[in-house]
Amino acid sequence: MNAQILDGIKIRDQIKQELVEQIHDLKAVGITPGLAAVLVGAHPASQIYVRSKVKMCASLGLFSEKAELPAETTTEEVLRLISKLNHREDIDGILVQLPLPPQVDTKRVLLAVSPAKDVDGFHPLNVGNLVSGRLGLVPCTPAGVIEILLRSKIPIQGARAVVVGRSDIVGKPVAMLLLHNHATVTICHSRTRDLPAVAREGDILVAAIGKPAFVTADFIKPGATVIDVGINRLTTPEEIRKIYHHPEEPLQELEHRGQVLVGDVNPEDVRELAGAYTPVPGGVGPLTIAMLMVNTVQAARLRRGMRAVNA
């Protein structure tokens, strides 16, 4: 079977082009959407993520600001910063980069972000809007999954969709979005009986569990569309040999780069069985930051009583 590769980079670039036009139109009426990224401590991966978000803001013509606080910052100090950002007219979106240091109460911080500026879509008000099908800010990775399916002309209406993973950040919201697009949705998790058999019922299979290559051939219905949300780093030859039937190429990559990225789906099994699939890297990942930019522009419009635009 010749599986179709769903190219997240190509879809991200389409969305970016649409955003450039929307931002140009907003600037013409005196509005420059603004994003504030809050970073607490010197977590290396978080610094990389924030840098890439700020860089994309600049490339699109969005205003962005990075608020960096030291690792020993208290919950109250983070809350004071969030309060200031909530009241600033030039900031439309507030992004709190996770994880926060252990002494900071993450739930209190995320709840403190104004729902109108919650570009991650984590606030209970936005979660409620998503569940009830009302207009609001949708979590970025799930929104990216739907964009991939729609723009790749994968039929969602009437399809059986299986989501493996029930996290608040990906599993539950992506299930809701699939339901709103008229799929019949099953959510699976660690307590699901005979998980591979349930997963095999999916015309669309979304894997979001954070376990490298957990989804193998016995989870995949032949011809299904497989969306792999996971990003896992393999750093030893043993890990690679455990996953790949033909490990020569990934072993070379490990030697060259010091790591190999793999999703939650076995990359060799999905190539052989799926009708279409997202690769790792280059699938869902590029869409997450693009949808953050979409949410920032959306927030800028909604906060001013303007009509929402679908990217």
- Residue among 92, 120, 203, 228 flagged as catalytic: 120
Is 120 considered catalytic here? yes
Query: Choosing from 16, 22, 92, 97, which is the catalytic residue?
Result: 97
Task: Answer yes or no: 259 catalytic.
Answer: no
For residue 53, indicate whether it is catalytic: yes
Q: How far is residue 82's CA from residue 103's CA, in Å, rounded to a whole number?
A: 17
Q: Which of 16, 53, 172, 221 is catalytic?
A: 53
List the catalytic residues. 53, 97, 120
